[in-house]
């Protein structure tokens, strides 16, 4: 495991599973917990440290599980609590930690808490959600907008008030200013701690408080628009500075209560922080020993992947975290954005060399890393026709935006069974034909495949302490190169990436020798006369140490 036993999460690689699309065990076309359990040998073979399982709780599935109707129940679509226990036991037997998604900022409108809250203005849970009277002209109380487009307020005729929903109208926001809400949510977290999970990924955790004075957000300016925002520019949500509907200071106190609870069980907190100015918020949220253990970064989930952009995002977060002793978690793909193999392809044809480069970069950064299911296979974004689209976000912004279904299609396991071996029934999303040659069984037969490479690189990284916890700095090099240095005392490791489609040569700041045993060495050569010169193949990567260190 990465780091010491008590800090296994520091520098860990976390494999994200989207349950609906991983493996279906009962033929209903939707992945489930027994399906996950049946494929954990594959996950363990990669050399990752932990598994993050996206929501599997009881839900009407308006947002595919991120709208929770019962925090303590497994949705029948995914199985039972016994199935969860079996999954957890198998992970632990394989040496994997288990992280589950927890959505605390909001619930489903089908949750019993909301049913009671909306029934009147004076019931015991009347203030468990964010209710507000309309303005005198009947319009919503503030100008706040939903991440999914349109107003963040929904009229409820029973209470004759508006309720706040930062996401879908079917996902009402909980009122964290209510002490009973905080206590109840900590109880839900405790339930899963006692069931043996090793940690939680807290969804949208900076949405957990709103401005109690209900002040309007100001309009966005050029200076305030987040250059790493994953919100589309055609979504009005991007037109505001979100000063009052999220990232409130009161949340820090709640996160301290949450950390105290988790510490009692040795559980880890990974927080999703989406904000216009995310790095300072992430630094606050992960201040060493006080709140979250680590924060999930959106900075590399954008379309821009130029070395200048990447360096700026990496340095910005690293600089923000350093004073607080905080820790980040990087990702280049997840269940909400187009897959990196397509998003960072510049429209070019699939290229395994390029896929290898992005994985190597992800694993070279300071922080932990999240690897999304199928990323180890180099899966491109799937093409899902409108008539088969499931994502409400995509339906709302079609055709300019096709939604998130393209990264959520079923995992391809084999070409020797229907639906790539994912399900014997009709899958909830179609299997993309372009994924079939990339199926796990096919790649396992090919020593030159992306899967073979991913396993080799992940296992090699486990032998390199500097890549897990060392400090990070950059060396100035011209594009398309990116040169970073990891260090700890006298130990130094250089990682140099050619993000371009042509070979590139660059003088080295000092004589370097390749690190032994990693699968990328053949993509780089060094000549020493008259001065050290590194030549990188297209999409080449070099890992090396100063010559006097003799390599490792």
Parallel/antiparallel/unpaired status of strands 131-132 and 161-164? antiparallel
Average the pLDDT over 430-447 and give the result.
Answer: 97
Q: How confident is the model at residue 227 (pLDDT cuts 50, 70, 90)?
A: very low
CATH architecture, domain 108-175:
Alpha-Beta Complex (3.90)
Q: Provide the pLDDT for residue 232.
A: 73
Q: Provide the pLDDT for residue 395.
A: 82
Query: How many helices (H) does the chain have, and how many strands (E)?
Result: 14, 21
Residue 389 to residue 182: CA distance in whole angstroms: 36
Region of poorest pLDDT, from 23-27, 67-71, 185-189, 230-234: 230-234
> Is 431's pLDDT higher than 90?
yes
- CATH topology for the 5-107+178-209+243-461 domain: TIM Barrel (3.20.20)
Mean pLDDT (the chain) is 94
- Write down the residue that tokens 């002490």 correspond to: 179
> Is 550's pLDDT higher than 90?
no
> Is 308's pLDDT higher than 60?
yes
Question: How many CB atoms within 10 Å of residue 431?
Answer: 21
- CATH 3.20.20.80 residue ranges of the chain are 5-107+178-209+243-461
Structure tokens at 168: 């879908």
pLDDT digits (tens, 9 = 90+) for 24-51: 999 999 999 999 999 999 999 999 999 9
Question: How many CB atoms within 10 Å of residue 221?
Answer: 8
- Write down the residue that tokens 């709780």 correspond to: 57
Parallel/antiparallel/unpaired status of strands 328-331 and 368-372? parallel
- Write down the residue that tokens 């089908």 correspond to: 110
Q: How confident is the model at residue 519 (pLDDT cuts 50, 70, 90)?
A: confident
- Write down the residue that tokens 């198998």 correspond to: 90
Which is more confident, 290 or 393? 290
pLDDT digits (tens, 9 = 90+) for 78-107: 999 999 999 999 999 999 999 999 999 999
DSSP assignment string, 442-463: HHHT-TTSHHHHHHHHHHHHTT
Average the pLDDT over 175-201 and give the result.
Answer: 98
Q: What is the pTM of this model?
A: 0.96
* Residue 272 designated active-site: yes
> Is 4's pLDDT higher than 60?
no
Structure tokens at 1: 């495991």
Average the pLDDT over 290-317 and give the result.
Answer: 96
**Angle, vertex CA 458, rays to CA 452 and CA 461, nearest 5:** 135
> Is 19's pLDDT higher than 50?
yes
Residue 423 CB contacts under 8 Å (≥ 6 apart), including other chains: 24, 27, 28, 29, 30, 31, 410
8 Å CB contact between 341 and 378: yes
Report the run of H or E that residue 86 belongs to, with start and end. Answer: helix 81-93
Q: Provide the pLDDT for residue 402.
A: 85
Structure tokens at 72: 């303590």
Region of poorest pLDDT, from 114-118, 234-238, 474-478, 491-495: 234-238
Q: Provide the pLDDT for residue 223.
A: 53
Region of poorest pLDDT, from 91-95, 135-139, 147-151, 417-421: 147-151
Q: Provide the pLDDT for residue 551.
A: 45
- CATH 2.60.40.1180 residue ranges of the chain are 470-549
List phi, psi (to 5°) of 233.
-65, -20
* Cis peptide upstream of residue 307 (ω within 30 degrees of 0): no
Output the CA–CA distances (angstroms, integers) from residue 519 to 44, 416, 480, 506, 534, in the order listed. 19, 29, 22, 21, 17
pLDDT digits (tens, 9 = 90+) for 348-363: 999 999 999 999 999 9
Q: How confident is the model at residue 552 (pLDDT cuts 50, 70, 90)?
A: very low
Q: Provide the pLDDT for residue 399.
A: 82
Q: CB under 8 Å, gap of 24 or more: what pairs does 111-117 form?
A: 111/68, 111/69, 111/70, 112/69, 112/70, 113/174, 113/184, 114/172
Structure tokens at 23: 């493996």
Average the pLDDT over 430-442 and give the result.
Answer: 98
Residue 349 CB contacts under 8 Å (≥ 6 apart), including other chains: none
Q: Provide the pLDDT for residue 230.
A: 61
- Given CA atoms 182, 185, 191, 193 in this order, what sign does their dihedral have? negative
pLDDT digits (tens, 9 = 90+) for 59-81: 999 999 999 999 999 999 999 99
Residue 26 to residue 133: CA distance in whole angstroms: 47
Q: Provide the pLDDT for residue 224.
A: 52
Which is more confident, 541 or 398? 541
Q: List the catalytic residue out of 24, 63, 203, 381.
A: 203
Region of poorest pLDDT, from 34-43, 466-475, 525-534: 525-534
Where in 170-245 does DSSP place strands (E)?
199-202
- Write down the residue that tokens 């790493």 correspond to: 228
* Residue 381 designated active-site: no
Maximum Cα interatomic distance, the chain, rounded to a whole number of Å: 83
Q: List the catalytic residue out of 32, 109, 245, 272.
A: 272
Residue 109 to residue 59: CA distance in whole angstroms: 10
Averaging pLDDT over each range in 379-393, 405-419, 505-519, which range is the top one?
405-419
Alpha helices in 194-295, H assignment, sequence order:
250-263, 278-285
| CATH (one of 3.40.190.10, 3.30.70.1060, 2.60.40.1180, 3.40.50.300) for 470-549 | 2.60.40.1180
């Amino acid at each position: 495991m990465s780091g010491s036993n008590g800090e296994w999460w520091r520098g860990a690689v976390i494999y994200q599973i989207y349950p609906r699309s991983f493996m279906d065990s009962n033929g209903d076309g939707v992945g489930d917990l027994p399906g996950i359990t049946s494929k954990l040998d594959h996950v363990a073979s990669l050399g990752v440290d932990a598994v993050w399982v996206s929501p599997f709780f009881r839900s009407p599935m308006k947002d595919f599980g991120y709208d929770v109707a019962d925090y303590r129940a497994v949705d029948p679509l995914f199985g039972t609590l016994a199935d969860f226990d079996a999954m957890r036991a198998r992970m632990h037997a394989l040496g994997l930690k288990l992280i589950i998604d927890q959505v605390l900022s909001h619930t489903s409108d089908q949750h019993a808490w909301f049913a009671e809250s909306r029934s009147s203005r004076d019931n015991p849970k009347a203030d468990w959600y964010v209710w507000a009277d309309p303005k005198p002209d009947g319009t919503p109380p503030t100008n706040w907008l939903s991440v999914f487009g349109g107003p963040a307020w929904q009229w409820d005729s029973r209470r004759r008030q508006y309720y706040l929903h930062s996401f879908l109208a079917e996902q009402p926001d909980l009122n964290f200013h209510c002490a009973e809400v905080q206590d109840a949510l900590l109880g839900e977290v405790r339930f899963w701690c006692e069931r043996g999970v090793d940690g939680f990924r807290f969804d949208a955790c900076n949405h957990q408080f709103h401005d109690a004075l209900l002040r309007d957000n100001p309009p966005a300016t050029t200076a305030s628009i987040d250059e790493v925002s994953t919100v589309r520019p055609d979504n009005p949500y991007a037109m505001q500075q979100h000063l009052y509907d999220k990232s409130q200071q009161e949340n820090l106190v709640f996160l301290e209560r949450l950390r105290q609870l988790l510490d009692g069980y040795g559980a880890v907190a990974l927080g999703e922080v989406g904000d216009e100015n995310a790095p300072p918020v992430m630094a606050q949220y992960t201040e060493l020993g006080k709140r979250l253990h680590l924060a999930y970064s959106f900075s590399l989930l954008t379309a821009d992947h130029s070395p200048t952009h990447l360096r700026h995002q990496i340095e910005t977060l690293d600089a923000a975290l350093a004073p607080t002793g905080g820790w980040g978690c990087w990702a280049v793909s997840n269940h909400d954005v187009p897959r990196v193999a397509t998003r960072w392809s510049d429209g070019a044809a699939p290229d395994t060399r390029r896929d290898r480069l992005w994985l190597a970069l992800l694993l070279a950064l300071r922080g932990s890393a999240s690897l999304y299911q199928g990323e180890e296979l180099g899966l491109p974004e799937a093409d899902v026709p409108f008539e088969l689209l499931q994502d409400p976000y995509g339906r709302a912004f079609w055709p300019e935006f096709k939604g998130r279904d393209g990264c959520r299609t079923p995992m391809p396991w084999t070409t020797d069974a229907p639906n790539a071996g994912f399900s014997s029934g009709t899958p909830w999303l179609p299997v993309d034909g372009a994924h079939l040659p990339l199926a796990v069984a096919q790649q396992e037969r090919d020593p030159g495949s992306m899967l073979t490479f991913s396993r080799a690189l992940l296992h090699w990284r486990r032998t390199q302490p500097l890549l897990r916890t060392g400090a990070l700095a950059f060396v100035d090099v011209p594009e398309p190169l990116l040169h970073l240095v990891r260090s700890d005392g006298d130990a130094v490791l250089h990682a140099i990436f050619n993000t371009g489609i042509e070979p590139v040569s660059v003088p080295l700041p000092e004589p370097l020798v390749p690190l032994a045993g990693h699968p990328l060495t053949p993509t780089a050569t060094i000549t020493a006369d008259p001065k050290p010169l590194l030549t990188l193949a297209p999409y080449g990567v070099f890992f090396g140490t100063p010559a006097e260190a003799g390599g490792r």
